[in-house]
Amino acid sequence: HVQLVESGGGLVQAGGSLNLSCAATGKTNVLNCMGWFRQVSDKEREAVAVDESGTWTSYADFVKGRFTISRDLSRNILYLEMNNLQRDDSATYYCAVSTSDGCYGSSSSRPEFFRYWGQGTQVTVS
């Protein structure tokens, strides 16, 4: 199993920034594809950004140019730097891990591609 713990959420004004972190423990040899998703209570969970072993990344169109996903491979930590936050970015943000050996492009935009999930961290933009 893999345990994921997110941190870094909070309240920020529009135009501000936040940095999310996700620490992975447990079976860390399967962390090839990791991603950030977000969800508003009455909507489906949507992909924000994914990272394949620190060598390939993909972003949702609505965050391109504003968010950056990165990873510390030695410490098994996934990051999401969020800049120029807007009210529409308000959501619970989740870190996720797929046990696949890669992200396989658009496959990793689907929540069902991921097996392990963190508890989520709330981001509120006022």
**Which tens digits make up the pLDDT trace of 1-49?**
999 999 999 999 999 999 999 999 998 888 899 999 999 988 999 999 9
pLDDT at 3: 96
Distances (CA, A) of 108 to 2, 32, 37, 102, 105: 18, 12, 11, 9, 6
Give the closest residue to 100 by CA, choosing from 31, 28, 24: 31
Tens of pLDDT, residue by residue over 59-115, are 999 999 999 999 999 999 999 999 999 999 999 999 999 988 889 888 888 999 999
Tally the residues of the chain.
Answer: 126
CA distance 103 to 100: 7
pLDDT at 108: 87
